[in-house]
Structure 1
Amino acid sequence: MYRVMIVDDEPLIREGLRTIVEWEECGFQVAAVAVDGMDALSKIPQAKPDLMVIDVRMPGMTGLQLMQNVQEQYDPAPLFIVLSGHADFEYARQALSMRAEGYILKPVDEEELEDALRKVKLTLDKRRSEGSSPSGQAWSRERTVLSLLSVEGEEPPEEALGTIRLGGAPYSVLLIKLQNREEIDAATATSVKTRLSDAFDASGKGVVFSLESNLGLVLSADETDMPHVYREIRRACSESGLDFTAVAGDEADGLAGLSQSLRSAEEGLKNRFLLEGDRIYPAMEAAAPAERQSDAKVLGESESEKLLLALDLGNAEAAASWVRGTADAMRAARMGEPEVKSAFAQSFTAALAKLEQRRPELKERCRAFAAEVLKLYGEYRLSGLTEALTELVAKMADSFRGYGSDQQMQKMIELIRRNYADNLKLESLAEVFGYNSSYLGKLFRNYTGESFNAYLDKVRIEQAKELLEQGLKVYQVAERVGYSNVDYFHGKFRKYEGVSPSAYRKK
């Protein structure tokens, strides 16, 4: 049986081709399916296809570009059958000029495809008789390394190992993740790989390879200058306007240990969101500890409340301090990228939603800023996200600051009247206002004639009276005005009104 890879970005087409066509009757078996050109390139070393059935139009890399890449990297290359939804002569001309075995229009006619497969089989039979089947592709340095990196890979012959031309052990595998705020197309990634090959393969200092969505580099003990390696990678990436994160796996005593070095590098690279990208990180340093602090402990209710208060007051410094402190706590907890972004997004959207509810005049601004927060999902480092959020909260604070009185105590009173139902504490407000809590309490008493807690209780009781007059039940009123304990609410209400809440409602 010859091996075939199906490459199409449409799931229904992929599944249809895989299951409907009588592959075995035509002498083939489906070895792999790929969703686009980059996915196909990463799977070829393991799938070893004799034939690739590819779609012309795919995101990132077209089918014709994929053909060109494969034909440049493999000798002999797999054969190709090209599928297209467009009866375009120019596509057909280019495909046939690149030695495609067939060009079939979508929707694919099964009989037409099976006829093409039988013709391809004759060509492959001839190749095999001449000893040049793609399944036995030439052992390039990259293919040899990829086989060593895979515990299930085909063992390379002795002469292939000799082509690696690396120095002595120990060896290490260095994984490189290309990064950008926008999607990186296949052509750009290939360009970076070519530059790295010029810097390392050509001089025998290392072997460059592609593996899934990463680039990699196998280094020997002779290449010990990691700052030099870092500079070469940075140069190759900067010429394409890209950033990167690189992690070096554990050292291997021999070529047989490269797969373990790769696994350790992969584990370290999982934490790339927390790394700065300013150097090559050893896998042990990059990897997360076994136990991590829960996300809930990092962003508790009291912490999120500080953001709301800072924005409500228009205090840019306090809001920025909240962002930086929260980011530091997330880094210490080794939270993953999805968790970090989700936690930040939830905190900001919740704070802005509350602010919009309590200050209707800020509705449009709050919604616009909420949209800006979500745009920051493209940040690929925690440090970059922190910087972007710090700049954004400064804009928010500046935008919100123009509303209300300029007097700090008046601002504090307005804040209490808007947020009385929350768990307000003098200590939290003092941090937002930039005062010592004891000093802020004295200022507040001088300004209002009452302590902070007494003033808050009176505001809550006034609101409670309005709700009781509307017919709400006592426990509902208690909850709405900020008292979680109904008995405590009873005591406070009687203290200020001289009667119980139930008696007041019956008046």
Structure 2
Amino acid sequence: MYKVLIVDDEPLIREGLRTIIGWEELGYEVVGSAAEGLDALDKVAQLAPDVLIVDVRMPGMDGLTLIRTLQERMKPCPRFLILSGHADFDYARQALAMRADAYLLKPVDEDELTDNLAKLKQRLDAENRAARQMDKSPERSRDELLVSLLTGRGAKGAEANAHPAFRASSYEVILLKLESRFEIDSEKSDVIKRRLIETYEASDKALFFAMEPYLGLVLKDGHGRGAVYDGLEAICRENGLDLIAVSGGRVDCLSELRLSFRRAQERMRGRFALEGGRLHGWDEQGAFYAPSGAGKELPEAESYAERLFLALDVGNEEAACAALREMGAAMLEANMPEQSLKAGFVQAVTAALNKLAASRPERRARCQAFATEVLEIYPEYRYAGALERLNGLIREAAAEFRDYGGDKQVQRMIDVIRRNYQENLKLESLAEVFNYNSSYLGKLFKNTTGESFNTYLDKVRIEKAKELLQDGMKVYQVAERVGYSNVDYFHSKFRKYVGASPSSYRKK
């Protein structure tokens, strides 16, 4: 029987879970319950449960914090089934990142919970059988030797040299990370492990090891990287998964195996920026993405959001995608962590869409829909995949907001000015999103309207300022509202076009 602890702040839920499920028939025993996270920590220490059913939202220590704490403290750690009364994308994403076995919504469906418990029991049974077999197997000593050589902790070089499995002229550590936009089923992971052992260890080409969150091979005698990667990719593809693979480089003796492993680990830290379809070496030329642990902010984030907004407003998808590419390249160069980088993209696109919604109220619903779709980049495990998804979204948005043919650029400029006069509009910025030379576009605008771009913008702003002054708004508030950050400059412009000061005009 596997022991179960129920953690939920609602007494009815705790009692209901005890009674609606036929625990013994499924191979489980409910050994206790807890009303919140801190109580659950004490119960785990006392009862040593195999499985926790955990509510996400609880007073004190919440469910996700409880899981994170137990995973840090306990090896091995209990398995988790998560309950939530909120269909919240962020909770689900965090739960999956913590390797929870299921994420279930309240009210709990009896059949769904029973089905998940049955699947979990199968996984627990398989792990226990494998552990018992490992205890009986002479390979356990080989695995212990390999781990000690890779980590440098208690390394036994002489003993390893005497072991027949380690005999080779050279060694190369290959680290693998199984990837998917969805939760990776542990059964698929186990299948891949078995295939790797059958394919590479049985032929004495490599030694297999598993070191969470990675799988790994130690290639022996310089077996070709390209052929090895093709085999790894085929095994993963058969099971519906992708992979990221890096090499720590070849070494000539077992005492240097730790160096190859450490270099592979360092390269794997920047895996988000690595392209698919090949094995990456630790010493490749070019930019090396090495994300720092601390979250970072991009200094020019607002300018990228502004460029993106203007490009979307005129329906120029190429200019919008270019702004995204340049922003992404800058974040990679700044070594921003993956989550910070994704958040930067989301903030920039969301800010642009919010501005677009404000300037085009009739499109507000579509802007909000696009803003929701931006969150779909979070499950992406490659930078290229995240950027491709964003580019597709931006191209779709730009197509929807494109109102005019290519021969009506001046009318499009006028519409942009009238919708966004309060923004920091510049001819150079508009020329970029319209794909025109700024000097040519300025002449085209003046020939069509009879006024320069800056004069036209000033007049639109001043006309709006007159309306706001008549409504009783204060001068400094009006200046800021129509796009002048300097009140004195606003005074001079207003006097130039109206012939009176803002204060005098308001008193009329």
Aligned 8 A contact 1:245 1:272 in 2: yes
Worse-matched range after superposition: 413-422 or 147-156 = 147-156
Aligned 8 A contact 1:166 1:205 in 2: no
Hey, what does 1:296 align to over in structure 2?
A: 298
SS of corresponding position for 1:249: strand
Render the CA deviation track for 1:33-61: whole Å, top value 9, x for unaligned: 525399999xxxxxxxxxxxxx9997997
Pick aligned residue for 2:45 from 12, 19, 25: 19
Pick aligned residue for 1:71 from 109, 121, 129: 129
Is the alpha carbon distance of 1:356 and 1:59 closer, same or farther for their aligned partners in structure 2, counting shifts above 3 Å?
A: farther
Is the alpha carbon distance of 1:76 and 1:457 closer, same or farther for their aligned partners in structure 2, counting shifts above 3 Å?
A: closer
Aligned 8 A contact 2:249 2:260 in 1: yes
Hey, what does 1:270 align to over in structure 2?
A: 269
Q: Kindly state the Cα deviation for residue 376 of structure 1 after the two structures are TM-superposed.
A: 2.4
Aligned 8 A contact 1:141 1:160 in 2: no
Aligned 8 A contact 2:177 2:244 in 1: yes
Render the CA deviation track for 1:164-189: whole Å, top value 9, x for unaligned: 244123x2321111111111111111
CA distance in 1 between counterparts of 2:162 and 2:78 reads 32
Aligned 8 A contact 1:140 1:160 in 2: no
Hey, what does 2:179 align to over in structure 1?
A: 179
CA distance in 2 between counterparts of 1:246 and 1:7 reads 37
Hey, what does 1:219 align to over in structure 2?
A: 219
Is the alpha carbon distance of 1:16 and 1:67 closer, same or farther for their aligned partners in structure 2, counting shifts above 3 Å?
A: farther
Aligned 8 A contact 1:246 1:280 in 2: yes
Hey, what does 1:228 align to over in structure 2?
A: 227
Hey, what does 1:122 align to over in structure 2?
A: none
CA distance in 2 between counterparts of 1:316 and 1:60 reads 50
Hey, what does 1:470 align to over in structure 2?
A: 471
CA distance in 2 between counterparts of 1:60 and 1:374 reads 33
Q: Does 2:75 align with 1:32?
A: yes
What residue identity is the alignment partner of 2:364?
K
Render the CA deviation track for 1:206-262: whole Å, top value 9, x for unaligned: 111111121111123x13411111111111111112111111124445323333332
Is the alpha carbon distance of 1:411 and 1:345 closer, same or farther for their aligned partners in structure 2, counting shifts above 3 Å?
A: same
Taking structure 2 as the reference length, the TM-score comes to 0.74
Aligned 8 A contact 2:357 2:367 in 1: yes
- Matches for 1:238-317 after TM superposition, within 5 Å: 238-285=237-284, 287-288=288-289, 295-297=297-299, 299-317=300-318
Q: Kindly state the Cα deviation for residue 163 of structure 1 after the two structures are TM-superposed.
A: 4.3
How many residue pairs end up in the alignment? 424
SS of corresponding position for 2:175: strand
- Matches for 1:421-440 after TM superposition, within 5 Å: 421-440=422-441
Aligned 8 A contact 2:316 2:433 in 1: yes
Aligned 8 A contact 2:315 2:402 in 1: yes
Aligned 8 A contact 2:177 2:243 in 1: yes
What residue identity is the alignment partner of 2:175?
L
What residue identity is the alignment partner of 2:392?
E
- Matches for 1:109-258 after TM superposition, within 5 Å: 139-152=140-153, 158=159, 162-169=163-170, 171-220=171-220, 222-258=221-257
Q: CA RMSD in A?
A: 3.6
CA distance in 2 between counterparts of 1:161 and 1:39 reads 41
Is the alpha carbon distance of 1:139 and 1:235 closer, same or farther for their aligned partners in structure 2, counting shifts above 3 Å?
A: same
SS of corresponding position for 1:164: helix
SS of corresponding position for 1:277: coil
Larger Rg: 1
Hey, what does 1:102 align to over in structure 2?
A: none
Aligned 8 A contact 2:491 2:502 in 1: yes
CA distance in 2 between counterparts of 1:211 and 1:7 reads 27
Is the alpha carbon distance of 1:375 and 1:158 closer, same or farther for their aligned partners in structure 2, counting shifts above 3 Å?
A: same
SS of corresponding position for 1:502: helix
Taking structure 1 as the reference length, the TM-score comes to 0.74
What residue identity is the alignment partner of 2:172?
S
CA distance in 2 between counterparts of 1:59 and 1:439 reads 69
Q: Kindly state the Cα deviation for residue 293 of structure 1 after the two structures are TM-superposed.
A: 13
Q: Which runs of 5+ in 1 are unaligned?
A: 24-29, 42-54, 78-131
Aligned 8 A contact 2:289 2:332 in 1: no
Hey, what does 1:375 align to over in structure 2?
A: 376
Worse-matched range after superposition: 274-283 or 154-163 = 154-163
CA distance in 2 between counterparts of 1:435 and 1:376 reads 32
Is the alpha carbon distance of 1:376 and 1:35 closer, same or farther for their aligned partners in structure 2, counting shifts above 3 Å?
A: farther
- Matches for 1:41-56 after TM superposition, within 5 Å: none
Q: Kindly state the Cα deviation for residue 140 of structure 1 after the two structures are TM-superposed.
A: 4.9
Is the alpha carbon distance of 1:506 and 1:31 closer, same or farther for their aligned partners in structure 2, counting shifts above 3 Å?
A: closer
Hey, what does 2:400 align to over in structure 1?
A: 399
Aligned 8 A contact 2:176 2:215 in 1: yes
Aligned 8 A contact 2:172 2:251 in 1: yes
Is the alpha carbon distance of 1:76 and 1:444 closer, same or farther for their aligned partners in structure 2, counting shifts above 3 Å?
A: closer
Q: Kindly state the Cα deviation for residue 21 of structure 1 after the two structures are TM-superposed.
A: 4.8
Is the alpha carbon distance of 1:319 and 1:377 closer, same or farther for their aligned partners in structure 2, counting shifts above 3 Å?
A: same
Hey, what does 1:83 align to over in structure 2?
A: none
Aligned 8 A contact 1:147 1:154 in 2: yes
SS of corresponding position for 2:500: coil
Aligned 8 A contact 2:161 2:167 in 1: no
Is the alpha carbon distance of 1:369 and 1:159 closer, same or farther for their aligned partners in structure 2, counting shifts above 3 Å?
A: closer
Aligned 8 A contact 1:468 1:505 in 2: yes
CA distance in 1 between counterparts of 2:202 and 2:309 reads 57
Worse-matched range after superposition: 309-318 or 355-364 = 309-318
Is the alpha carbon distance of 1:377 and 1:9 closer, same or farther for their aligned partners in structure 2, counting shifts above 3 Å?
A: farther
Q: Kindly state the Cα deviation for residue 277 of structure 1 after the two structures are TM-superposed.
A: 2.2
Hey, what does 1:114 align to over in structure 2?
A: none
CA distance in 2 between counterparts of 1:40 and 1:501 reads 60
Is the alpha carbon distance of 1:287 and 1:268 closer, same or farther for their aligned partners in structure 2, counting shifts above 3 Å?
A: farther
SS of corresponding position for 1:241: coil
CA distance in 2 between counterparts of 1:281 and 1:184 reads 23
Render the CA deviation track for 1:255-276: whole Å, top value 9, x for unaligned: 2333333222122111111100
Is the alpha carbon distance of 1:326 and 1:385 closer, same or farther for their aligned partners in structure 2, counting shifts above 3 Å?
A: same
What residue identity is the alignment partner of 2:247?
A
SS of corresponding position for 2:140: coil
Q: Kindly state the Cα deviation for residue 309 of structure 1 after the two structures are TM-superposed.
A: 1.0
Aligned 8 A contact 2:236 2:242 in 1: yes
CA distance in 1 between counterparts of 2:157 and 2:132 reads 16
What residue identity is the alignment partner of 2:305?
S
Is the alpha carbon distance of 1:402 and 1:8 closer, same or farther for their aligned partners in structure 2, counting shifts above 3 Å?
A: farther
Aligned 8 A contact 1:8 1:36 in 2: no
Render the CA deviation track for 1:350-399: whole Å, top value 9, x for unaligned: 11111111111101111111111112222211111222222221211121
What residue identity is the alignment partner of 1:62?
L
Is the alpha carbon distance of 1:166 and 1:17 closer, same or farther for their aligned partners in structure 2, counting shifts above 3 Å?
A: farther
Q: Percent identity?
A: 46
